[in-house]
């Protein structure tokens, strides 16, 4: 599939909004190799689907973040000027806890350039983060107010890329085991 394609839509077809409740992250420094956006001889992207796989350093795995999908979101906007426009991807995940695990993650994510893999509501995996561009991770905690308030750890990621959160097909090596994503799984929501 190339970049210049017709994009149809059958009226009435549902397009579920939002992102699913779990993302995976890993330090870019722990990746010996990573999937890349295919480009032509002039450096222009030829697809929004990444090619290649993550090759991780020994004993390294992706870690998960569970978050509240109704308070979390992904957005992308153009940045720069023609003919050098890129995308600024913004991923915000609101985790309900503020305990030691969440606070440890705050310290790590605040000071580490990371890859973040997340799923849209149709089950397609997308990547935020590209070592060729700058990124900024910020984590804030809120212990809430009074009896009716709620606690939260908010992880906000801003990362530049050639395309908006490119799609990923392949293997995610996690501490729980492998998640193997195929092209077929990208077209239908996971159960």
What are the tens digits of pLDDT across the range 110-157?
A: 999 999 999 999 999 999 999 999 899 999 999 998 887 899 999 999
For residues 190 and 179, is the Cβ–Cβ distance under 8 A? no
- The domains of the chain are located at 19-186
H helices within 22-123, ranges in order? 100-110
pLDDT in tens, 52-88: 999 999 999 999 999 999 999 999 999 999 888 999 9
Does residue 83 have a cis peptide bond before it, meaning omega lies within 30 degrees of 0?
A: yes
Give the three-class secondary structure for 104. Answer: helix
Q: Is the pTM of the predicted complex or chain greater than 0.85?
A: yes
């Amino acid at each position: 599939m190339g970049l210049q394609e017709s994009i149809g839509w059958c009226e009435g077809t549902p397009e579920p909004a939002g992102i699913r409740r779990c993302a995976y992250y890993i330090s870019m420094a722990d990746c010996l190799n990573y999937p890349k956006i295919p480009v032509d001889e002039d450096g222009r992207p030829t697809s929004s689907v990444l090619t290649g796989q993550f090759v991780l350093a020994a004993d390294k795995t992706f870690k998960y973040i569970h978050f509240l999908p109704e308070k979390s979101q992904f957005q992308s906007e153009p940045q720069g000027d023609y003919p050098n426009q890129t995308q600024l991807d913004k991923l915000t995940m609101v985790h309900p806890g503020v305990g030691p695990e969440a606070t440890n993650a705050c310290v790590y994510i605040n000071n580490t350039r990371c890859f973040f893999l997340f799923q849209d509501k149709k089950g397609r995996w997308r990547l935020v983060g590209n070592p060729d561009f700058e990124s900024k991770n910020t984590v804030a905690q809120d212990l809430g107010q009074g009896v009716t308030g709620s606690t939260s750890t908010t992880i906000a990621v801003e990362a530049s890329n050639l395309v908006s959160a490119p799609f990923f097909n392949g293997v995610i090596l996690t501490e729980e085991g492998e998640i193997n994503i195929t092209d077929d799984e990208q077209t239908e929501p996971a159960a």
